[in-house]
Amino acid sequence: MYIGQERFSDANLCHRRIHVQSEEENLDMLERIIYALHDLQVFNEKNKPGLEAAIDGQLSNWMWRETKGGHRLVYIDTSTPLFKRAGKETLNPDLLLKSAPGPLRAIIKLFFLDDVMNRYYRHRDVYIDLVANLYKEQRPDLIPVFLKKRSHYPQSHTPVLPGRQIHLAIFSRREANRPLGEAKTTGPALRFHFTWTHKTVGMCDTFVALPPNTQNGAIVFGKNSDREPNEMQALEYHPRRQYEPGGVLQCTYLAIPQVKETHAMWLGRPFWMWGAEFGVNEHGLAIGNEAVWTRMPIRKKGGLTGMDLLRLALERATTARQGLEVITGLLADHGQGGICGLYDRSMAYHNSYILADTQEAWVLETADHLWVAKQVKSSYAISNGLTIGAEYDLIHPDAVAHARREGLLKKGKDFDFAACYADWLYTTFPPSNNAVYSPIAFCGIIQL
């Protein structure tokens, strides 16, 4: 069988056209794409479950061709449309898995394939992907103007956008070039941004960049946090406080001795937890944490959560190195543990951190009470897995010996913290219920 298709110039791909066209031409093009997506939505509503079609509406899947009568919109994606008949997918999913390594195909099919196959049938996700594509193409400026013009569409062509979430994402990104908050501190000037977005994600990340990789001698720190749907995230300012001797501090699950004084700080935390996923204090110390899965036992009851440890470090430390020492000291005294999911009451993990101040930054990674740390030289990023291997600057005194005792470090092999302690399966395929997570993004600039 031979299939012939008209040949198009790649200059007509919509994700390229948005960089060379006028604003009106871009808005016209985007309107036409929304019209097409909406028409498909109407078709599905009329015909399912008998017949239903799915489409990937991202800009790179459309061509915008000039013709004598104006412009013609052409859909060119090769992996969609997908079709369901009587609610059953007609495409053999094994075709999509052929590009994956053989040993992983069964795992992908078991845990991820349903979400991949079904997301293009969910018009809410299709619209979000289209808007997110404008961020990817560095054209978020088109979104507010486009939404304003959308209000003038014919009612029959007004798509049902996920209004609250997508408007919130657009506002947050549009405002990303000006601070949403400024902290008056005893030391450096801090500028930081908190943004909320809405997109299906499965991991969270923290990064830091140091001079000379940044402009104006600034240290740039960023963190995004993927949390469960409908879990409110509290953005809070806590002033400096003094306490009477002998006081007790109740953290999420564990009460510990209180210190004499705590520093002022901004925090982003799940509303039901005492600890925080990210924050910055009055001295310019910023910290973000990540969940990591290791071969060490996880305590689901008792102990300090990773977020508790982060907040305690912000309260008690003035520098990144001091914050590291606070966290490792508390690990030795109290250990880490406790459930960290609002709805998923089995979610528990160990933690990694990036700590940055006006002078330096450190990466700290833990496996239960054991830990390893590395000073950042230029830039660094962490996510839901251990990253520090054979090269490190500080380490728990028993980390190497414990790995030997437990058979994690084979005889004759050099010690590598990540290789010895990372749980490969959970690190590669972190626990997920295929829900839509709600990320919160934090970005800070610590200016000398």
Catalytic residues: 204
Contact in structure between 446 and 357 (CB atoms under 8 Å):
yes
| Pick from 120, 128, 122, 135: nearest CA to 15 | 135
What interhelical angle do 163-174 and 142-150 show, nearest 10?
140
Please state the three-class secondary structure of the chain as a single string: CCCCCCCCCHHHEHHHHCCCCCHHHHHHHHHHHHHHHHHHHHHHHHHCCCEEEECCCCHHHEEEEEECCEEEEEECCCCCCEEEECCEECCCCHHHHCCCCHHHHHHHHHHCHHHHHHHHHCHHHHHHHHHHHHHHCCCCCHHHHHHHHHCCCCHHHCCCCCHHHHHHHHHHHHHHHCCCEEECCCCCEEEEEEEECCCCCCCCEEEEECCCCCHHHCEEEEEEEEECCCCCEEEEEECCEECCCCCEEECCCCEEECCCEECCEEEEEECCCCCCCEEEECCCCEEEEEEECECCCCCCCCCECHHHHHHHHHHHCCCHHHHHHHHHHHHHHHCECCCCCCCCCCCCCEEEEEEECCCCEEEEEEECCEEEEEECCCEEEEECECCCCCCCCEECCCHHHHHHHCCCCCCCCCCCHHHHHECHHHHHCCCCCCCCCEEEEEEEEEEC
Number of Cβ within 10 Å of residue 96's Cβ equals: 17
Ramachandran area for residue 235 (φ above 0: left; ψ -120 to 50: alpha; else beta):
beta
How far, in whole angstroms, is CA 305 from its chain's centroid? 20
Q: Work out the widest C-alpha separation in the chain, in whole angstroms.
A: 84
Strand partners, 219: 446
Q: Which two tokens stand for residue 222?
A: 């960023």
What interhelical angle do 23-47 and 142-150 show, nearest 10?
60
